Structure 1
Amino acid sequence: MQISEEVHNYMETLVGQVLAQPEYIESFTHTQLSDLACLALSQLRPIYIRHDVDFLSALPEERLVQLKNHAVTAVENAKGMILEDRRQGRIDEIPVLFTKQKFDEDVELEWYETPILPTKP
């Protein structure tokens, strides 16, 4: 059995419906839409199901409306994070310093550095 084919998070469907609206498709790049989906889904409790039809037939209308509202709210919150992306305008020329540690081979090992297995003579 492969879970990825048989089981899915229904909240992904709802978030996908919100992101499919023209206001998001026309305003954001594909990468930003992917980021929006990740950020929104991280805010929502997952609802794992096998079949949408079975799930929706047993779900009260009020609960479905509530789940859709949660998805809209999560996407709106994520939208704020994308619009105020701290990665924009970031200077990637941050200097990287490499240090070379010098080890003194004659220094006695600490108790936590002592090998577990005895060394062979």
Structure 2
Amino acid sequence: MSFESQISNFYEKLVVDDLAKRSELESTEEGELIDIACVALNQLPSRYYRYSVDMAFYLSAPEIQRMEDEVTKAVTYAIAFVQKNKKAQ
């Protein structure tokens, strides 16, 4: 097992979950979704963990809500950014 497979960024899961909830992206190609995720993640801080139970245990409900709100804003920005730049090409 490699080192990098043992750590994760909590925001990655939140971004993927947010993208999955957006019905307007249902017909979006996987490559474009990945671009959107990357742009969104670049707008967010890193929050690394080794075991997901650690994050669930140590985050308060208000902190999780704040993080989800940040993700919503970052994904909304990323969608507009990727779609604008896609049209410009």
TM over 0.5: yes
Distance 1:21 1:9 in 2: 20
1:106-121 correspondence runs (5 A): none
RMSD: 1.7
Distance 2:80 2:25 in 1: 16
Q: Which moved more, 1:25-34 or 1:6-15?
A: 25-34
Normalized per residue, the structure richer in helix is 2
TM-score, length basis structure 1 = 0.67
- Please give the per-residue CA displacement for 1:64-88, whole angstroms capped at 9, x wherever unaligned: 0100111111000001112212x53
Identity of matched residues, %: 28
Q: Is the 8 A contact 1:24 1:33 kept in 2?
A: no
- Shift in Å, 1:41: 0.3
- May I ask how many residue pairs the two structures share in their alignment? 89
Unaligned runs of 5+ in 1: 91-121
More relative contact order in 1 or in 2 (CA 8 Å, sep 6+)? 2
TM-score, length basis structure 2 = 0.88
